Structure 1
Amino acid sequence: MPATRDLVNELIAKDSIVIFSKTYCPYCKMAKQVFESLKKPYTAIELDDREDAQDIQEVLGEITGARTVPRVFLNGECLGGGTDVKKLFESGELEKKF
């Protein structure tokens, strides 16, 4: 899956905030709402709209240790999932990362 790995790395590098998401996932919505409340634009990669979703989740599993969504990246660093992002936001740590 080197092509998928390249694609994932490219997507992560392209924007400062990238959320690998599924449109119906409540944790994905939670993560997006955090960035919306901070007025920070993000790029959402909606995996349920993609044919290569399975492959992308495999690669995310390899690089982040989890294949679950959301996988949230800020400046190339994986912040984790929806709950992780919400905790960072509530503690004030998230703003320090910008």
Structure 2
Amino acid sequence: MERDRHHAGKRTRAILTLAALARSQQASGDEAAAKRTASSAAELYADYRRLSKSIEDSHGIRNDRRFRMTLPAELEGRRMEQWARRKEPLSASASGDGS
């Protein structure tokens, strides 16, 4: 992604892939690995959010690719941020019931 920083599709796929991996790790009982992976997804999301905000705020910069935050990345990135900050398993925060 460093060579193609302004590719929303690649950024979105990376976040979604890491989120799926975190869920798989959690399902297999590896909570520590799941939390590390969720944290990595959250870091990618934060970087994507900063970059898209800087493009949005810089009205003089050309945005030929129409680079912006995608909805799937926004939703999954927020989930991973929330889960990475919590102590309970990923499945609890993903369910939305707080248990």
Q: Report the TM range for the smaller structure's normalisation.
A: 0.3 to 0.5
User: Which of 1 and 2 has greater Rg?
Assistant: 2
When the two structures are superposed, what TM-score results if normalisation uses the length of structure 1?
Answer: 0.35
Between structures 1 and 2, the one with greater strand share: 1
Between structures 1 and 2, the one with greater helix share: 2
